[in-house]
Structure 1
């Protein structure tokens, strides 16, 4: 117990996550009596697992998409698809975030990419900055809820659950979140925008039919021109679900495909390509460092029989699986408020999965629930990385932004409760067999 409290205390005072876990391991080794070679070998053995190679590769794809301007292609596709809707730009942000999530697997990367691409444009079209920032932060969750998902890769790797099944299981919850966010936007846009229509739509109403036709033709041409880039999500998900490639292989294919598109169509300067590679290496190394040191801490907690103790205590508390899941939801939502997503997934997955197994809960269903809980922490202060990134990008004041975020937070909680009480939302793929 003391080791976990020490780790949380170090994180709360702002110590880097990897360093905090390393210190806990070193300071507590006299109690755990781990062999010295274990401290060196275990982290290495964990981070060279094949599924984890997908993490830096998906990060690289996101970096290349952002630096080459291909993110704009996703936005243009979403805009072209939704051009008849009122308050169109909000819907574009939701759909484009889902498409971006189908490429990068990262929530914060989705917030940064979409906010940088659409944030200023939304403010120009009379969307209040706090609302634009709140929508940007909330739709960042789609970066993980829509597969592929880096936290699900982590969970599947450490708990030994099929990552492909986890990806399939997260699809319906992700789509439900998109629909819920769209409903909130429909409601809020009527109160925030004149007649519920953004400025661009109003301006288009005054254009001549000839101008409208010309604009539409130009957009069609841009969509056709960008089709190779827009095929990237289909390539990633299609290769995984079609049984052509594993998630790791799909990540490698996506990275190679993105590089080819950039060098053939975009002709991105070599310097920018190197910067993209450097950015992916820095972020990927940070995540893998967290994974490495968390693996030692997990080993120590296993030696202290934490998973067994949690299983025994929860079974003694209740024999109802739904009550257990509600308790887990409460704990994980709290953990997500204070811990970085990947670290929390790596720490709590191995601790809680045995207890879920004791209740006969499907490990895939439980994995999706665990990641959803922790991800919601990204829009729940005090840690709430999505909030701070979106606030900065959209130049919004924090308190009004938090007020605007409440309906989106409620949607995420509602989807979480639906998944908790209705397991087929995640295990629907069984019916395909």
Structure 2
């Protein structure tokens, strides 16, 4: 396995396209994986022909329309007024928006794509370095899973037999804690991340809020979260359908308010299609690598080893964290949840660990894999949507990863954090 990982790292370092690197390392090691090439032919297609993934291009479209139609700037200006006394406030806005988008999409990657395309450009105009913007957006995207609805938690609850309602309740407080940790991390790093040491003044949009037309644009932007969240929680539509509603809403509002012209639409759709194609191509070809790991039974072997070496719940949880962090580095989130949940949940039950508590631990661990190379989908999507390189992200990314690990430790060893709701229900 080590030569395979080394080969993958080398391909990425020399600048090979991410998806190509993952697929190529499998094709060059078919004998090591004991694979038949014809068994992998449909994997890329099957991986992207998923209804939840449709939310990614739709929310990219929302972001592009909001940017070109002025809705994102109006919303940013409104938030500026609310947080005008808070230093480096736009970074805090990005974190809060990620939590909100997570409640809309249920997907970490879709959250990163949406926030990177909307708040990211304004952060760059305010003087933030691109590498910092990408690191912040990639990390805050994890709130897309800890703020319900959460697709991985639905998968865990269905395969392990745990109440999905309880899982959603259990994520609320951990999600709030992680958001607060990100706020503190941003406050600590902001001065270093800003080119001039402080956030620049708001754009002209922010200085014209008193005008009636801009107030209307701001109100239109503020209504969007209520429309989407209200539809989801009332059961009117799914998160993916919510993405479609959001796209239609933003198109209708910007066209009616004449902040976006019909002759600009081809450019909007073209930009969205190119960005979405790049992201979905990465997902499609990394699926080949995921399938190879599963067929070689590497995650199963790792899990079996962890279960067999200790009789202490605390040590077991520490080992499970290490195993799941490792698995999350190399496997797609939903696939990892479907694989590791049934393997580890029975062992956790034997140690007396609450299945709801364990579900939050498992999903949080695997989601952190979206920040840890080589798979690190959040990093790659954030880099793509903000125009940053991984080298530009390097000085800042580690701090946000540390923040997530500290939150994971609290979730793991303070059961009252995810199980808070049992005090009231």
- Shared fold per TM-score greater than 0.5: yes
- DSSP 3-state at the match of 2:418: helix
The 2-side partners of 1:400 and 1:275 are apart by 23
The 2-side partners of 1:290 and 1:9 are apart by 16
Q: Report the Cα offset of residue 366 of structure 1.
A: 1.6
The 1-side partners of 2:392 and 2:60 are apart by 31
Q: Report the Cα offset of residue 28 of structure 1.
A: 7.9
The equivalent position to 1:55 in structure 2, one of 44, 52, 55, is: 52
Q: 1:180 to 1:354 in 2, by over 3 A?
A: same
Whether the aligned pair in 1 keeps the contact of 2:105 and 2:239 (CA below 8 Å) is no
State the TM-score, normalizing by the size of structure 1.
0.71
The 2-side partners of 1:134 and 1:287 are apart by 20
CA deviation vs aligned residue, 1:363-389 (integer Å, no higher than 9, x gap): 222222112112212222233232233
Determine the structure 2 residue equivalent to 1:420. 412
The 1-side partners of 2:288 and 2:374 are apart by 25
Q: 1:155 to 1:403 in 2, by over 3 A?
A: same
1:231 counterpart = 2:243: no
Determine the structure 2 residue equivalent to 1:391. 383
Determine the structure 2 residue equivalent to 1:222. 217
Higher fraction of helix: 1
CA deviation vs aligned residue, 1:173-221 (integer Å, no higher than 9, x gap): 22212111111111222344489631116x99xxxxxx95755876543
- DSSP 3-state at the match of 2:127: coil
Determine the structure 2 residue equivalent to 1:65. 62
CA deviation vs aligned residue, 1:62-94 (integer Å, no higher than 9, x gap): 355335428827656644543332212111211
The equivalent position to 1:317 in structure 2, one of 309, 313, 322, is: 309
Whether the aligned pair in 1 keeps the contact of 2:371 and 2:401 (CA below 8 Å) is yes
Q: 1:180 to 1:322 in 2, by over 3 A?
A: same
CA deviation vs aligned residue, 1:252-302 (integer Å, no higher than 9, x gap): 66256436525643459797789989999998999899999989998997x
1:82 counterpart = 2:83: yes
Unaligned runs of at least 5 residues, structure 1: 30-38, 205-210
Determine the structure 2 residue equivalent to 1:370. 362
The 1-side partners of 2:292 and 2:124 are apart by 47
Q: Report the Cα offset of residue 111 of structure 1.
A: 2.2
The 2-side partners of 1:361 and 1:98 are apart by 28
CA deviation vs aligned residue, 1:119-157 (integer Å, no higher than 9, x gap): 333233222233222212222222222222232233333
Indicate the RMSD between aligned Cα atoms, in angstroms: 4.7
State the TM-score, normalizing by the size of structure 2.
0.72
The 2-side partners of 1:222 and 1:81 are apart by 17
1:350 counterpart = 2:342: yes
Whether the aligned pair in 2 keeps the contact of 1:99 and 1:233 (CA below 8 Å) is no
Whether the aligned pair in 2 keeps the contact of 1:125 and 1:199 (CA below 8 Å) is yes
Determine the structure 2 residue equivalent to 1:331. 323
Q: Report the Cα offset of residue 231 of structure 1.
A: 0.8
Determine the structure 2 residue equivalent to 1:145. 146
Q: Which moved more, 1:416-425 or 1:68-77?
A: 68-77
Show the 5 A alignment for 1:242-321.
250-251=238-239, 254-255=242-243, 257-258=245-246, 261-262=249-250, 264-267=252-255, 317-321=309-313
Give the paired residue count. Answer: 395
The 1-side partners of 2:180 and 2:115 are apart by 18
